[in-house]
Amino acid sequence: MLVSLLQHERIRTTLAKGKEFRSWADRMITLGKKGTLHARRQAFALLRNHEIVKKLFDEIAPKLKDREGGYTRIYKMGWRQGDGAPLSLVELVTFSHPEEKKKSPVTKAKEALEKVAPKKKGKEEKKEKKEEEKEKGKGKPKEKEKKEKKVKKEVKETPKEKKEKPKKKSSK
């Protein structure tokens, strides 16, 4: 639990575990504030994770250097559904929620419309595409048209060949 707290800076647990756990967390942060090699080795002996020990000594402890204790706070969260145990949220006092900038309703509506509505092409873009097509196809459209006409004629002729009219019997 101590590794999880130092990694995520807040955890959810039962109230009894949270109250007991608070003293362990405060001891680790006190070691982090000392910053000596011996303190690092003591912290590693308990945490058994190099990355968390580094985070404790390099990030968390410097934020709390002016504070003389009370590095964690506990919030009561209600009761667990299954067994009715009281739950709590244990977090470091330096934890801050990543706040999003509040958007006005107008900007929210515009973003929603951009996601839903198809993008309309401007008149300028249409003109540019037509010009590009004209430049690419100079001299070739006539040849393409001739080929297309030949293909159409061949298609039309083939069904006629297949349909042969039966000869009428003469009544002589």
Report if residue 77 sits inside a domain. yes
Q: Which domain holds residue 45?
A: 2-92
CATH of the domain at 80: 3.90.1030.10
- Residue type (1 letter), 159: P
Q: What is the band of 156 on the pLDDT scale with cuts at 50, 70, 90? A: low
Q: Is there a domain that residue 47 lies in?
A: yes
- For residue 10, tell me if it sits in a domain: yes
Q: Please state, in angstroms and rounded to a whole number, the distance separating the CA atoms of residues 99 and 155.
A: 67
**Residue 123 lies inside a defined structural domain of this protein:** no
Residue 72, domain member (yes or no) = yes
Is 136 part of any domain? no
What pLDDT digit, counting tens, does each position of 34-46 carry?
999 999 999 999 9
pTM comes to 0.56
Q: How many domains does the chain have?
A: 1
Q: Quote the pLDDT of residue 124.
A: 59
Residue 56 CB burial class (10 angstroms; 0-12, 13-18, ≥19):
buried
- Strand arrangement, sheet containing 10-14: 10-14, 86-92, 72-79
Q: Which has the minimum average pLDDT: 21-25, 90-94, 125-129?
A: 125-129
C-beta neighbour count of 137 within 10 angstroms? 12
Please report whether residue 159 resides in a domain: no
> Would 8 be classed as within a structural domain?
yes
